[in-house]
Amino acid sequence: MAPPAGHIRPGRYLGAFILIVGFLYSLVFFTGDGRPVPKLGIDLQGGTRVTLTVRSTDGAQPPPESIDRARQIIEQRVNGMGVSGAEVVRDGNNLVITVPGERGDEAKTLGRTADLNFRPVLQAVPNQPLPPQTPPTGGQPPASGTPPTSTPPPNAGTPPTSQPKPQGRPAPAAEQQQPNPTPPTGTAPAPGSAADAVAKARALRQSEDPQVQAQALALLDCTAADPLRGLDKPELPLVTCSDDNSEKFVLGKVFLPGREISDAAAGQDQNSPGYVISVNFRPVGSDIWSKFTSANVGKRAAFVLDGRVVSAPNINEPILGGNTQISGRFTLAEAQDLANILKYGSLPLAFDQSEAETVSATLGLASMQAGLIAGAIGLVLVFGYCMFYYRALGVLTVLSLGLAAAVIYSVLVLLGRWIGFTLDLAGIAGFIVAIGITADSFIVFFERLKDEVREGRTFRSAVPRGWIRARRTILSADAVSFMAAAVLYILAVGQVKGFAFTLGMSTVLDLVVVFLVTHPLVALASQSKLLSKPAWSGLGEAHRTAAASRSMAKTSGSPAAKGV
């Protein structure tokens, strides 16, 4: 037979809670890597935050859909590089990339335009004098040209003497050494607006007049900032430099756009030290590439990334099937970086790195310690208040909060594995605020018990009636808190989302703890002779108030003296 309204079987509720906790921690210890540690955000474990600003040449506002598309591509690049816990959010016309941990340097290359095109080499001359800075590989000369085939012929490393020595240097290394990754090619921008600099550079370096091309080749400074980075027109020739500044090129029009690439992957170079990038084309691109290589045997093809020549190997034989390689003495990290950028597409906009902030692990540890100390102080204050004011009921409050913390911790670990959720300082602040919300639910219930006792009921009879009335208030208050957290999560960006998420999650778990733990424990306490005593239960004042009311009723002869 079902118990009367408000009466429960506490063992069933506590048993259900134990099953839930056991199930969660079995997932924590027996799934994933088995480490019961939540993932920490950039402000707790250190990392890098990079702000990318759209580079506009005409002052016009970029279309919102272009910025959203750029954000999606950068998110794909982050996932492709295996950077865990990273976040890419839009802030107006800016994109903010946060990468926690020790791989934050990779975030500085994620905003590259990565516009890969294939151009024929019309002329190539050594760049004299060479730039004073040491190449990223410690001064080693560029690799000899390797034909862009999956199985190079024996004469791959010996180009014809009439051809300049091919090269193939990776783009990522040069950019990672710059705080603002601007390619080291181009003429120095002329005074005036960015649009003027682009227009002047384009008129000189993308002219179809051979005399102008010769002039541009002579004036080209490979060490200066390039105003045409990612902005060169594919339908025009291009005068540019190699990535390692060793050669200058006059290139023809783009004959194959990079969007025809279907896949790119890094692999070990079988013919020389280092790594290569294997590139596969879509059917249309494969056909174009096959026809070009068949008609240009003995010539060079330039792989142009963001206006720079990454590699310009000789074509020693026709390449059929659409599979080719970008060769050069790439390191594994450089090859993987370039392959992922090519694989996940070109950005629809050009970006400049306006800010790059690195948070050290020491500072992150200090932030986490500060957050934990603040949470501990809040818990101590709540515990002290409850123990002083509610006594035995205060002990139940402490126990309930401890069990709630255990559930929250397991959920944090699992969310970090399943959806990549990272706990940051704002999230800890959300948990600290949630301590007050959870404690408030207990106080609502306990104060309702006091009201019932003041009306003359015993502790045991007050529990079911007090719970029926208190739970409405608890549900209403938690519903308001959850809706506020949900609205904040939807509208906010960045770390504020972490605060809203933890606040909303704690609010939901508060209901689980109040219904499955606090209420059953109070019901068990009301059945104990020791804990039911006013001196232990914390309801002594309410009992005295009830006794005084009955005494006054008897003295006055009121019908209330017949009492409850």
Q: pLDDT-based confidence at 486, cuts 50/70/90?
A: very high
The residues with which 311 forms a beta bridge, in sequence order, are: 168, 303
Phi and psi at residue 539, to the nearest 5°: -105, 15
Residues 425 and 499 in one domain: yes
Residues 168 and 313 in one domain: yes
Residues 188 and 312 in one domain: yes
**Highest mean pLDDT out of 239-248, 353-362, 477-486:** 477-486
Residues 211 and 146 in one domain: yes
Q: pLDDT-based confidence at 563, cuts 50/70/90?
A: very low
Contact (CB, 8 A) for 494 and 91: yes
Domain membership flag for residue 3:
no
User: Quick one: tokens of 374?
Assistant: 């603040």
Q: Which of 245, 234, 271 is nearest to 133 (CA)?
A: 245
**Whole-angstrom Cα distance, residue 42 to residue 74?**
18
Domain end, chosen from 60, 79, 108, is at 108
Chain-centre distance for alpha carbon 494? 10
Q: What is the 3-state secondary structure (H, E, C) of 312-337?
A: CCECCCCCCCCEEEEEEEECHHHHHH
Domain end, chosen from 57, 85, 108, is at 108
Domain membership flag for residue 2:
no
Domain count along the chain: 3
Domain membership flag for residue 1:
no
Q: Rounded mean pLDDT of 425-433? A: 85
Residues 301 and 440 in one domain: no
Q: pLDDT-based confidence at 369, cuts 50/70/90?
A: confident
SS3 534: helix
**What is the domain-level CATH number for residue 85?**
3.30.70
**What is the domain-level CATH number for residue 509?**
1.20.1640.10
In this structure, of 45-49, 159-163, 333-337, the range with the lowest mean pLDDT score is: 159-163
Q: pLDDT-based confidence at 561, cuts 50/70/90?
A: very low
Q: Which of 8, 30, 305 is nearest to 181 (CA)?
A: 305
* pLDDT tens, position by position, 171-206: 333 333 333 333 334 444 444 556 788 888 889 999
**Whole-angstrom Cα distance, residue 382 to residue 403?**
15
Burial readout 446-473 (b: 16 or more C-beta within 10 A, e: otherwise)? bebbbebbbebbebebbbbbbbeebbee
Domain membership flag for residue 349:
no
Q: What is the pLDDT of residue 344?
A: 66
H-only helix segments in 296-391: 332-343, 361-390
Domain membership flag for residue 350:
no
**Whole-angstrom Cα distance, residue 256 to residue 282?**
11
Residues 159 and 190 in one domain: yes
Domain membership flag for residue 303:
yes
Residues 91 and 119 in one domain: no
Residues 94 and 128 in one domain: no
> Domain containing 313: what range?
115-344
Phi and psi at residue 306, to the nearest 5°: 55, 40
Residues 143 and 242 in one domain: yes
Percent of the chain past pLDDT 70, that is, above it, reads 74
Residues 152 and 95 in one domain: no
Domain end, chosen from 82, 108, 134, is at 108
Residues 29 and 56 in one domain: no
Q: pLDDT-based confidence at 19, cuts 50/70/90?
A: very high
Chain-centre distance for alpha carbon 139? 36
Residues 52 and 194 in one domain: no
Average pLDDT, the chain: 76
Domain membership flag for residue 353:
no
Calculate ∠ Cα 179-231-163, nearest 5°: 90
Contact (CB, 8 A) for 198 and 160: no
Domain membership flag for residue 487:
yes
* pLDDT tens, position by position, 61-101: 777 877 887 787 777 666 655 555 567 888 777 888 877 76
**What is the domain-level CATH number for residue 156?**
3.30.1360.200
* pLDDT tens, position by position, 530-557: 777 776 766 667 667 766 776 776 676 5
